[in-house]
Amino acid sequence: MEGPALMVRAVPIPAECRLEATQHDADFADAYEVLVPASGHTTTEIYRAITRRTPVWVEKLMWLRNRVVQHFGLKNLGAMSAVREGEAVPGQRMGLFEVVSSSPHELVLQDDDKHLLVQLSVLKQAHDDLHDRLTLSTVVHVHNTFGRIYMFFVGPAHKVIAPAVMRQAVRALATPPRESTSR
């Protein structure tokens, strides 16, 4: 798929997104959408497909982030692409994040560390007969001064990383959903 479907654009967090209600008092919030081929992929399958195609430069930034923050007592989140097969079960980790809720149309994840709470939503909505609208929303609540310093650097980087990751969605979803236990 080429052309307009590959265009990632910044959008308001959709009203249908579970994070929409939490953005009013957030320290950082954004959303990016892209049209993907209409499919039977669940949001868990979509998240897994996208993270597995994380750009190499993003993985290197995560490696650097993990090295730097260990000196400040923050946890090593690992690699974005390290998402295992299986169901998205609330309370269990799925790569960088813990699953909050999972449905075929929205996957909500979070990481709550001592410096901030990061919440992420992958929302799939029908767009037309050929496309689904895929929206990646992020909401961050800062807990302390270190969180503010952290977001000073990460916020601008996120505005480059999130669209780059979303551009992978079209390529990642170009194949039909797999018949497996991940449904």
Note the pLDDT tens digit of each residue in 55-109. 677 767 666 766 776 766 666 565 555 566 777 878 888 877 889 999 999 999 9
Cα–Cα distance measured from residue 183 to residue 179, given in angstroms and rounded to the nearest whole number:
8
Confidence of residue 125 (pLDDT cuts 50, 70, 90): very high
The reported pLDDT for the residue numbered 180 is 42
Buried b (16+ CB within 10 A) or exposed e, 15-54: eebbbbebbeebebbbbbbbbbbbbebbbbbbbbbbbeeb
Which among 176, 182, 178 is positioned nearest to 36, based on CA atoms? 176
Max mean pLDDT among 56-60, 61-65, 155-159, 170-174 falls in: 155-159
> What gap in Å lies between CA 181 and CA 149, rounded to an integer?
41
**When comparing pLDDT for 32 and 55, which is higher?**
32
Which residue ranges make up each domain of the chain? 3-172
Structure confidence by residue, pLDDT tens digits, 132-147: 999 999 999 999 998 8
Q: What is the pTM of this model?
A: 0.82
| CATH class for the region spanning 3-172 | alpha beta
- Amino acid, single-letter form, for residue 11: V
